[in-house]
Amino acid sequence: MAKEVARAVGLAFVVVGFSAAHSMETRSMSRDECIAMALENNRMCRISDYDVRIAESMLRQAKSAYWPTLSASMMGGVMDEPLLYVYPASTMALPPAMGGMTIDVPKQEIELMDRAVLSAGLKLEYPLYTGGLRKSINEQAAFGVAAALEGARRTELEVVRDVDRAYYAAVLARRLEQIAGDTLKRMEATLELTKRMYEEGAGTVKKTDYLRNKSVVEMIRSIKSSLLPVRVNADTALVHLLGLPHGTRVEPFETELPVEFSSLSLGEMIEQAKASNPDLAQLRAGLGAADAFVRQARSGYKPKFGLFATYMHFENELDTGIMDEQNRDFIGVGIGGQLSLFEGFRTHAHVEEATLKFEKLKRQEELLLDGLALQVEQAHAAFEGACARKTSVGDGLQAAVENRELNIRAYQEELVETQDVIEAQFMEAFLDFSYQKTLYECVEAQAQLHCIVGVLPNLTEEIPE
């Protein structure tokens, strides 16, 4: 991704040209201000916030199972024939006191309901016992929120790491430009001295010395010019991370690359990573959700009970039969239960699936713990190695500075060769470049280490207006 950003920035730099730099809005910002602004404006942080809000919405959906449900219904329709009650033909015998006669009763068709009917109703339901289904679903949703929060924290850690890289890359680019500029000034002064000694001297300085010095001056001038797009690329990457509009330039407030040593040992960092790493915390939230999913599957073996209450009202043209005034409104209250007896071993397979998913996550947790320890060791080794190089290169730089000063004074007295002076100045510049690069490697390794361990910085500054 960094290479793609660099290419895009380079293309934009060529198209816009150097004149656009003068029309940009420049903001001087510290590292803490940049991090605070990035956490507020970065697009990836905003996307992660949507994940958290989605998970919270799912949790509210799961909690709705603890509330009663109330639903309304209405239905109207027309039947092809009225609803009839057919009383079959029969014979009725009278008692002897009434003559003992028999009476034939013909078949009768009694209309119970007219063809057109309209009904409306309300239904209230409340689950009393679900075999652990409600609780397990709510736990899964709660773990989903925890996982989303850890995902958002991981995004914040990555943004902080990237801002550190981009911010101090901008600081490094300016330091390298300054070193190249200072070296160029010294080499130009040496060139003037060489020219004067060549033209006015006693022959100790030859034209070849002047030409050699001249070629080195132009080479350093070329190196200094090549550092300009490097600085522009670093500035543009930082602006992108901060979510600032195109055309804005950020000027780092710091001018030096800091190196902060942690008071924690390698073992303590590994333990802190096991407690704070967002990837591991997200996986453990998934483990909790998988355990709840197992209990949800096992709830299929248990009965479910609930209360219900129903109210129904009917409208019909007929006012006799079942459409009598007393039957037009109906209220019922009761308790119901359900127990699955046989579903073709589906519940058993569901429990087995949930258990296997849980065991798989357990194995992934073990693998992630080992990998996390390895990542911390590698990042810590990179930081320690960069710090060790910083010490050795720093000592070499001090010696190179002293050597350059001695050679310049000796050259003014014509006690050393021109080549010695050029080499002394070139060696100082090379070691200074290497020293600044090593400082950046320390900062970069430390930023990566903090990202792995899961430590967010304590910001001391707010977002600038």
What digits encode the pLDDT tens for the residues 111-129? 778 888 899 999 999 999 9
Ramachandran bin of 310, using left for φ above 0, alpha for ψ from -120 to 50, beta for the remaining angles: beta
Question: For residue 201, what pLDDT is reported?
Answer: 65
What are the angstrom distances between the C-alpha of 153 and each of 147, 217, 277, 398?
Answer: 10, 50, 9, 42
Question: For residue 459, what pLDDT is reported?
Answer: 62
Question: For residue 6, what pLDDT is reported?
Answer: 41
What is the maximum span of the chain, computed from C-alpha positions, in angstroms? 169
Distance CA 45, CA 55 (A): 16
Question: For residue 460, what pLDDT is reported?
Answer: 56
Mean pLDDT in residue range 2-7: 41
Average pLDDT, the chain: 84
Mean pLDDT in residue range 191-202: 75
Per cent of the chain over pLDDT 70 is 92
Distance CA 287, CA 265 (A): 30
Mean pLDDT in residue range 298-307: 91
Is the pLDDT at 243 greater than 50? The verdict is yes
Mean pLDDT in residue range 155-183: 90
Question: For residue 462, what pLDDT is reported?
Answer: 52
Per cent of the chain over pLDDT 90 is 33
Distance CA 361, CA 222 (A): 56
Give the strand pairing for 248-252 and 108-113. unpaired
> Which backbone phi and psi does 463 adopt, to 5 degrees?
-65, 130
What are the angstrom distances between the C-alpha of 275 and each of 10, 35, 124, 372, 456?
Answer: 41, 24, 47, 11, 14
Is the pLDDT at 50 greater than 50? The verdict is yes
Give the strand pairing for 25-29 and 248-252. parallel
Burial class (CB in 10 A: 0-12, 13-18, 19+), 195: middle
User: What is the residue whose two structure tokens read 């001695």?
Assistant: 406
Distance CA 233, CA 21 (A): 12
Could you give the domains of the chain? 32-68+129-303+339-453 (1.20.1600.10)
Count of beta carbons in the 10 Å neighbourhood of residue 301: 12
Q: Which residue from 14, 16, 15, 35 is spatially nearest to 24, judged by alpha carbons?
A: 16
Mean pLDDT in residue range 53-82: 91
- pLDDT tens sequence across 263-272: 778 888 898 8
Distance CA 185, CA 428 (A): 14
Give the residue with greater pLDDT, 108 vs 2: 108
Q: How confident is the model at residue 428 (pLDDT cuts 50, 70, 90)?
A: confident
Mean pLDDT in residue range 141-151: 93
- pLDDT tens sequence across 209-223: 778 878 888 888 888
Mean pLDDT in residue range 294-302: 91
Angle (nearest 5°) at CA 318 between 314 and 319: 80
Question: For residue 15, what pLDDT is reported?
Answer: 36
Classify 308 as helix, strand or coil: strand
- pLDDT tens sequence across 391-417: 898 899 899 888 888 888 887 777 778
